């Protein structure tokens, strides 16, 4: 055991000695050189690392999206990128052409455009400052000492106010739809002018917003044309228009409610087939002029108003001499009622209907009247003078007389044959307006007389002549009434009247044979008058007229006469 240990010690010593003898001067020099070189490299690396760390600009030769940013500080590079983006939008706007000559222009200010360059700026700045230590060092050396270049690509984004863009487009489309012309027509003097409009134009707001957004974000100023076809009113119902507009002319007629003529209207018509051809050939916005065929009314409103109630057709006045105040009051009341009457052509007037029943309740006063051959006090006494005066005015106006009766006794205010008696429930006076225009009755009391006028329109300017026969005395039927000389005493008389009508030139056109407006009247003498005749001497008895006996068509009454 001790032996083995000794040998080991001897071998180790030998090795040491051998080792010290192998380290030659050249080896030592090489070691020293290697150490120096390693130190220099380490120093260079440390220098480069410090230089790389202290670099505060973009690496030389670096471009982003084609923009040279070499050796620019972060702030300088940001300014360059910002100015380039803002320069692209300086004074920028994009427009879209819409239908009906409408253009919508949108600027960057309208939609609050925002530019985003962060990604490009970060790409330029981060180049050479990211990756491993060796990658960063290599990039620095290449760009710092060997003029290396790097073309980077990084997106620069833009954003806009979507709500503002949508509002601009929406307002424009609304105005465009309001501007859309609908078909309409206007009636001119010689034509119906129909504007050909459109009934629909469905503008796609979303599509317009889309193309505007793209153009703004791409900074593309090229005008955009939005095509939209208008749907014109090809189906305008011209037949319905013809039915609604075309009509015969309408003449003015008298309106009792207004006392004037109703509005007149010109007749209208147009060629329907020709109108359809003109409409089919027209484009949107064009006016189609369809010639009118007009026809004038026979009587316009102005013409009728100028004719209405312009002429006094017939007029008669009778004296109220000897009348009591009550009788005058009744006559005045009757005139007031007559003056409220206007008769249309073909309308018949009834005196009793107009005045109503004569009694105290209706405001009539008592005055003298004829009842069964006696003079009595009756309500409405005196109104027969008004009806008689009206009868003569009607004769002079040449209107149709339907019903007329003479009094039982003669009257003092008119010649024989020209009176017209009336009684409630008894005799009546009626006439019809058989003229072309309305007639108005005007009756009034003035200066001790009652006057009745028929006022209307006299186009013919004819003249009426009143004619009457001689008075024929009538004997009592039994012929027993004689005076003290034995001569027959008359108890009444009869007379006939008729009219002759002459035209404006004085030519007789009616009544030449004596039968136009022909009326027979028979009157009785009062009892006291007959008795006076019976007591007369023969030389005082009047001679009997030679007038021939009339037919039994007297029209006299037997009940109440006023």
What is the torsion angle, in degrees rounded to the nearest 10, for the CA atoms of residue 272, residue 277, residue 281 and residue 282? -10
In the three-class reduction of DSSP (H, G, I as helix; E, B as strand; rest coil), residue 206 is classed as: helix
Query: What are the angstrom distances between the C-alpha of 28 and each of 20, 379, 490?
Result: 12, 176, 201
Average pLDDT for the chain: 82
Give the largest Cα separation in the chain, rounded.
234
Minimal CA–CA distance to 457: which of 442, 443, 436?
436
DSSP output for 150-168: EEE----EEE--HHHHHHH
Measured CA angle at 152 (ends 147, 155), to 5 deg: 160
Please say whether the beta carbons of 127 and 58 come within 8 A: yes
In the three-class reduction of DSSP (H, G, I as helix; E, B as strand; rest coil), residue 118 is classed as: helix
pLDDT given for residue 385 in this prediction: 96
Q: Which token pair is 62?
A: 């670096």
Measured CA angle at 402 (ends 399, 407), to 5 deg: 105
In the three-class reduction of DSSP (H, G, I as helix; E, B as strand; rest coil), residue 216 is classed as: helix
pLDDT given for residue 542 in this prediction: 47
Mean pLDDT value of segment 549-560: 34
Please indicate whether residue 52 or residue 509 has the higher confidence score (pLDDT): 509
Other CB atoms closer than 10 Å to residue 214's CB: what's the count? Answer: 12
pLDDT band at 7 (very low <50, low <70, confident <90, very high): very low
Query: What are the angstrom distances between the C-alpha of 416 and each of 410, 485, 495, 541?
Result: 7, 29, 7, 21
> Highest mean pLDDT range out of 252-256, 304-308, 542-546?
304-308
pLDDT given for residue 547 in this prediction: 37
In the three-class reduction of DSSP (H, G, I as helix; E, B as strand; rest coil), residue 356 is classed as: coil
Quote the DSSP letter at residue 362. Answer: G
What is the torsion angle, in degrees rounded to the nearest 10, for the CA atoms of residue 347, residue 252, residue 194 and residue 279? 60
For 327-376, the pLDDT digits (tens) are 999 999 999 999 999 999 999 999 999 999 999 999 999 998 766 666 77
Please say whether the beta carbons of 287 and 192 come within 8 A: no
pLDDT given for residue 38 in this prediction: 63
Mean pLDDT value of segment 551-560: 34
- Whether this model's pTM surpasses 0.75: no
Quote the DSSP letter at residue 555. Answer: -
Q: Which token pair is 403?
A: 């019903």
Query: What are the angstrom distances between the C-alpha of 304 and each of 29, 254, 294, 313?
Result: 146, 8, 20, 17
Q: Which token pair is 114?
A: 């925002």
């Amino acid at each position: 055991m001790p032996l083995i240990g000794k040998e080991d010690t001897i071998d180790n010593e030998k090795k040491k000695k051998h080792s010290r003898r192998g380290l030659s001067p050249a080896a030592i020099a090489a070691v020293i050189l290697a150490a120096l070189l390693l130190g220099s490299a380490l120093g260079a690396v440390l220098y480069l690392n410090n230089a790389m760390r202290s670099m505060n600009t973009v690496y030389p030769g670096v471009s982003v999206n084609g923009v040279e940013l070499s050796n620019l500080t972060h702030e300088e590079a940001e300014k360059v990128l910002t100015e380039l983006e803002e320069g692209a939008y300086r004074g920028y706007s994009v427009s879209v052409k819409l239908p009906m000559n409408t253009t919508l222009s949108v600027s960057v200010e309208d939609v609050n455009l925002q530019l985003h360059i962060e990604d490009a700026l970060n790409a330029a700045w981060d180049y050479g400052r990211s990756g491993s230590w060796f990658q960063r060092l290599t990039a620095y050396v290449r760009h710092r000492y060997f003029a290396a270049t790097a073309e980077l690509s990084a997106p620069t984004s833009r954003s806009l106010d979507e709500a503002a863009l949508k509002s601009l487009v929406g307002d424009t489309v609304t105005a465009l739809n309001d501007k859309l012309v609908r078909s309409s027509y206007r009636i001119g003097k010689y034509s119906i002018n129909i504007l050909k409009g459109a009934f629909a134009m469905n503008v796609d707001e979303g599509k317009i917003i889309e193309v505007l957004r793209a153009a703004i974000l791409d900074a593309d100023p090229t005008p955009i044309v939005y095509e939209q076809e208008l749907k014109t009113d090809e189906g305008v119902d011209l037949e319905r228009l013809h039915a609604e507009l075309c009509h015969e002319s309408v003449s003015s007629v008298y309106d009792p409610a207004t006392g004037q003529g109703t509005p007149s209207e010109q007749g209208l018509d147009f060629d329907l087939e020709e109108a359809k051809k003109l409409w089919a050939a027209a484009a949107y916005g064009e006016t189609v002029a369809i010639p009118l065929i007009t026809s004038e009314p026979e009587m316009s409103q102005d013409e009728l108003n100028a004719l209405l109630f312009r002429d006094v057709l017939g007029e008669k006045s009778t004296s109220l001499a000897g009348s009591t105040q009550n009788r005058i009051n009744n006559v005045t009341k009757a005139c007031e009622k007559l003056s409220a009457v206007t008769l249309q052509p073909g309308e018949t007037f009834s005196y009793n209907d107009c005045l109503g029943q004569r009694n105290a309740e209706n405001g009539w006063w008592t005055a003298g009247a004829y009842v069964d051959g006696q003079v009595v006090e009756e309500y409405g006494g005196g109104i027969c003078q008004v009806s008689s005066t009206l009868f003569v005015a009607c004769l002079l106006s040449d209107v149709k007389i339907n019903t007329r009766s003479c009094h039982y006794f003669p009257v003092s205010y008119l010649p024989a044959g020209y009176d017209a008696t009336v009684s409630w429930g008894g005799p009546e006076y009626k006439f019809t307006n058989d003229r072309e225009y309305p007639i108005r009755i005007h009756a009034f009391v003035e200066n001790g007389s009652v006057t009745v006028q028929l006022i209307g329109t006299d186009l013919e300017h004819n003249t009426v002549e009143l004619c009457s026969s001689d008075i024929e005395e009538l004997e009592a039927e039994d012929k027993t009434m004689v005076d003290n000389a034995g001569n027959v005493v008359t108890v009444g008389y009869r007379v006939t009247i008729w009219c002759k009508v002459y035209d404006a030139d004085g030519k007789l056109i009616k009544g030449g044979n004596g039968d136009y407006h022909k009326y027979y009247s028979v009157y009785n003498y009062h009892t006291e008058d007959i008795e006076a005749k019976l007591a007369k001497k023969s030389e005082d008895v009047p001679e009997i007229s030679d007038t021939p006996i009339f037919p039994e068509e007297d029209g006299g009454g037997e009940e109440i006469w006023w």
